[in-house]
Every structure is written in structure tokens, then in C-alpha cells.
Amino acid sequence: MKYILQYMILVLFVGLGLATVIFFGNQLEAPPDIHGVWLLETNNISECTTLAQLDSPNTMQLSQSGQFLDISLGTSDEIRFSARFKEGQIDSPKDNSIHLVLDRQSTPYRLTGSLILPGCEAGIPVSYILQPAEKSSIEGLHP
């Protein structure tokens, strides 16, 4: 009898627990999926020597863990920021080197704002557009 009671409590615990979690969880909102390769639309790379010297100055790779972003410019990983996505905006809190606003109405998504890099300390206006996802054969590898 004791074990039946214990088992019933266990079943009740998991049933109620999961139902509650799913009820509240379905009301949660996670950040949009912005992981991937972004391509620079603006034609002003020459305004920033650091950017112009990169292997592929037009590309920005964005690795996303929810609100937390790991951004690298070009393909050689020479310029890398840790940034945060909050309320539709990407900012790098440590050095303020990046400020981008996400346009979710645009298809595909578009990021517009500015980059502050050595050689263009005043900031260079940029606009990036998300490239169609190319599923990596191995997920989660870091440069």
C-alpha cells in the first residue's frame, strides 16, 4: 500500500510538473533565429581600412546562443565580438564596437547600424542581409 501511494505521488508529480511547465513555456518568447552568415549590402568598405583588409570583408558570421552572440567579420576570424541581442538590437557591451538593429519585417532578415573598428573609430554605417541557411554537416564547431 505504501509503495502504491509513493508511486501515485511520483506519477502525479511528473504529470502536474510537465503540464505546468508546458503551459507556461508555450507563452514564452525566445529571440529570433539570426544564426548564420550575413552579407554586407552597403558599398563603403573602403571607408574602414581594418574591414577592407579582411579576407572576405563582406561577410559576417553570427553564432547564436539565444540572446548571446559570437560575431566574427570576414572568414579568418581576425575581428571577433561578443554581443547580445535584446529588444531587437545587437550590441557589444564590452567595447560598444557594434550596434545593429534587426528588421524582422524584411525577408530575409536585415541588420542595419554601425561598426566601430580601428581605422574607423567614428563608426561606419553598415547594412547586412541574412544568407539562406546552409546546414553545416557538423554543428557547433568554433573557429
- Residues within the interface to another protein (CB under 8 A): 3, 6-7, 10, 13-14, 17-18, 21-22, 24-26, 28-35, 63-68, 70, 82, 137-143
CB of 67 to another protein, least distance (A): 6
Cβ proximity to another protein: between 25 and 132 the closer is: 25
CB of 124 to another protein, least distance (A): 25
CB of 131 to another protein, least distance (A): 16
Cβ proximity to another protein: between 120 and 128 the closer is: 128
- SS3 of the chain: the string is CHHHHHHHHHHHHHHHHHHHHHHHHCCCCCCCCCCEEEEECCCCHHHCHHHHCCCCCCEEEEEEECCEEEEEECCCCCEEEEEEEECCEEECCCCCCEEEEEECCCCCCEEEEEEEECCEEEEEEEEEEECCCCCCCCCCCCC
Are the CB atoms for 131 and 47 separated by under 8 Å? Answer: no
CB of 92 to another protein, least distance (A): 11
Cβ proximity to another protein: between 21 and 101 the closer is: 21
Cβ proximity to another protein: between 43 and 137 the closer is: 137
CB of 37 to another protein, least distance (A): 14
Number of Cβ atoms within 10 Å of the Cβ of 120: 18
Cβ proximity to another protein: between 29 and 122 the closer is: 29
